[in-house]
Amino acid sequence: MVHAPILAIAIPLLGAFALPILAKLNRRARDLWAVGIALVTLVFGLAVAGQVFASGKPLVYTLGAPSPTASVTEGGFPIRIVLVVDALGAFAGIIALLAGAIGLFYSLQYLAEEEGKTLGTSLLLLLWAGILGLVYTGDLFNFFVFLEITSIAACALIGYRVWESRPPEAAFKTMAMYTLGGLLVLISVGILYGEYDALNIAYLSKLITGTLLDKLALGLLLGGLLMKAGAVPAHMWAPDAYGEAPAMATIVLVANTQAAIYALLRVVFTLFGGALATPGIGWLIASLGTVTVLVAVLMAVVQRHLGRLVAYGAVSQLGYMLLAVGVGVVAAGKGFGEVALKGGIFHMINDLASVGLLFLVIGAIRRAVGSVDLLSLGGLGHTLRWESGFFLLGALALAGIPPLNGFASKFLIYESTFKASPILAAIAVLSSILLLAVVVRAFHGVFLGPKARDVGPAPWGMLVAMGVLAVIIVVFGLFPGFFIERMVSPAVQALLGGRAAYLAAVLGG
């Protein structure tokens, strides 16, 4: 199990490349292989999280070294590529693992053979490996490489339905934004490498003093990551991508966005935590978050494409996370800063569960009816009973209705934001109410009303995948304290006081 961090990345990679060859031999073998790879990855990923949460110390794995812990040479210089998983990385890893495993399981019965199931599954595994690498890596250049892996796999998946007109356009738009964001990150990495001759995050963090070049690098990194996350004003790719991608890919795309939030936290608190985590940066992120919430919710009101409607809901949730991160940076030393970070980090997994569930239901509707236009749908609740229940659950969780999980994390965000800035908090609460109106309208338009057509229910595999998310929504909503104490608090501590431990784990001493 000492190799668990790298195996959680390497196994899906291996699975992705072996899958097309297996598919040429036997299609059943391919499906079994995909399930097997998903299970093995899940085991190793959860083992990583278990080790980190149990020991409370960051886990370091050095690639190519005589032993996994030999991360520095004699002079104390970290020359090799390292993976560093602290509590925050482990938490983000759990989100990615959940999304990938559920997406893969859902895809088995969702994707049609003649549409290119083999390539879709292979790309999904590749995207999964990329996200896990993104949250586990402790090396800035590798971070960029994994960013590119996720970008390319994500864009190919968004354009999966090439025979329709809109998916290729969405894929192209996303590709342009991801490439631009990746370029900003690359330039930033280049600046830091030129300045300090190092790429190891821990080592860089030790050296960074806050010069003008450092500020430039921080700005570029923030810009690139916010583009990747889909914050306003760089949000326009997200509704297209979420709306047009096949459902099993959308949930992993949401996890991909969460990985960008994780990276934002890592950059602000760990990489630049010693010198540049100033309140100004916090206010910038918080205001961008609030604008994102408001703009996305207002745009959701006018949508008639169900996928795009929920996609704008997803973008607004991302705004809440940014708001929490911003408040966390503004009030880093104070109690409510910690509460904000708790809310923001907890909201990552809650958002994945509620938005993911909604997208999986939309995928099932699309598969059964062939359309997701609100004006042409109606009365589906008579036949799609399970789906309508899941949609309502996901919609209420998305809008933050107690006792579901969205309420637990949003309440923490409101409370702490109110102490930092009542105006931002008021906008956040108002947007949440508006979002409730939007999702209730969507539910009414799709599921209620007279029975209009006969459609068959979704296959059991897809229902099970949705059911898992529904269980998470309810359990996390009923017992938020349990999960916050065991998973979220360690992650917040890893950010606020854990920078020294992170540095010590990699550099020794």
Question: Pick from 320, 13, 323, 266: which is nearest to 135 by CA?
Answer: 266
Cβ-based nearer residue to another protein, 124 or 291: 124
How far are the Cα atoms of 125, 272, 379, 464 from residue 106, in angstroms, in the given order?
Answer: 13, 39, 25, 8
Compute the least distance from the CB of residue 17 to another protein, in Å.
4
Helices (H), 302-399: 306-330, 335-369, 385-399
The secondary structure of residue 76, as a DSSP letter, is S
Query: Of the two residues 159 and 356, which places its CB atom closer to another protein in the complex?
Result: 159
Q: How far is the CB of 132 from another protein (least distance, A)?
A: 14
CB of 486 to another protein, least distance (A): 29
Footprint (CB under 8 A) of another protein, residues 376-435: none
How many residues interact with another protein (rule CB under 8 A)?
20
Peptide bond preceding 239 in cis form (omega within 30 of 0): no
Q: Which is nearer to another protein, 79 or 474 (CB)?
A: 79
Question: Per-residue contact track with another protein, 51 to 90, x per CB under 8 A?
Answer: ----------xxxxxxxx------------x---------
At position 61, the amino acid (one-letter code) is Y
The answer to the question of residue 3 lying near another protein (CB under 8 A) is yes
Q: Applying CB under 8 A, does 336 fall inside the site for another protein?
A: no
Residues 462-491 that bind another protein (CB under 8 A): none
Q: How far apart are CA 371 and CA 377, in angstroms?
A: 8
**127 vs 285 by CB, closer to another protein:** 127
* Distance set, CA 119 to CA 28, 56, 109 (Å): 15, 39, 15
Is 179:61 a contact under the CB 8 Å cutoff? no
What is the per-residue binding string for another protein in 13-52, x denoting contact by CB under 8 A?
Answer: xx--xx-xx--x----------------------------
Residue 392 CA to residue 369 CA, distance in Å, equals: 19
Smaller CB distance to another protein: residue 8 or 323? 8
Closest to another protein by CB, 152 vs 364, is: 152
Asked whether position 6 contacts another protein by CB under 8 A, the answer is: yes
Nearest CB to another protein, comparing residues 37 and 251: 37
∠ Cα 108 97 49 (to 5°): 150
CB of 15 to another protein, least distance (A): 10
CB of 414 to another protein, least distance (A): 44
Minimum CB distance to another protein smaller for 58 or for 289: 58
Contact status, residue 143 vs residue 156, Cβ threshold 8 Å: no
Comparing CB distances to another protein, the nearer of 14 and 213 is 14
The full length of the chain comes to 509
- To another protein, the closest distance from the beta carbon of 265 in angstroms equals 26
Asked if 10 touches another protein (CB under 8 A), the answer is yes
Measured CA to CA, the distance from residue 274 to residue 115 in angstroms comes to 50
Measured in degrees and rounded to the nearest 5, phi and psi for residue 186 equal: -65, -45
Residue for token digits 């998946």? Answer: 157
Q: At its nearest, how many Å lie between another protein and the CB of residue 142?
A: 12
Judged by beta carbon, residue 18 or residue 464, the one nearer another protein is: 18
Tell me the window of 4-12, 139-147, 362-370, 415-423 that interacts with another protein (CB under 8 A).
4-12
- Quote the least distance from Cβ 155 to another protein, whole Å: 16
Longest dimension (CA), the chain: 75
Q: How far apart are CA 437 and CA 428, in angstroms?
A: 15
Round to whole Å and give the CA distance between 186 and 86: 24
Of the ranges 8-16, 48-56, 185-193, 468-476, which one interacts with another protein (CB under 8 A)? 8-16
| Shortest Å distance, C-beta 171 to another protein | 17
Q: Does 128 bind another protein (CB under 8 A)?
A: no
Least distance between another protein and beta carbon 453 (Å):
38
* Residue 189 CB-half CA count within 13 A: 19
SS3 call for 305: strand
If you compute the radius of gyration of the chain from its CA atoms, what whole number of angstroms results?
22
Q: Which two tokens stand for residue 444?
A: 């009414």
Q: Are 322 and 345 in contact (CB under 8 A)?
A: no
The least CB distance from residue 342 to another protein, in Å, is 34
Q: According to the binding rule CB under 8 A, does residue 165 interact with another protein?
A: no
150 vs 258 by CB, closer to another protein: 150
Cβ 3 to another protein shortest distance, Å: 6
Backbone angles phi, psi at 82, to 5 degrees: -120, 150
CB neighbours of 50 closer than 8 A, spacing ≥ 6? Answer: none
> Which strand (E) or helix (H) includes residue 111?
none
- Give the nearer residue to another protein in terms of CB position, either 149 or 327: 149
Which residues would be at the binding site for another protein (CB under 8 A)?
3, 6-7, 10, 13-14, 17-18, 20-21, 24, 61-68, 81
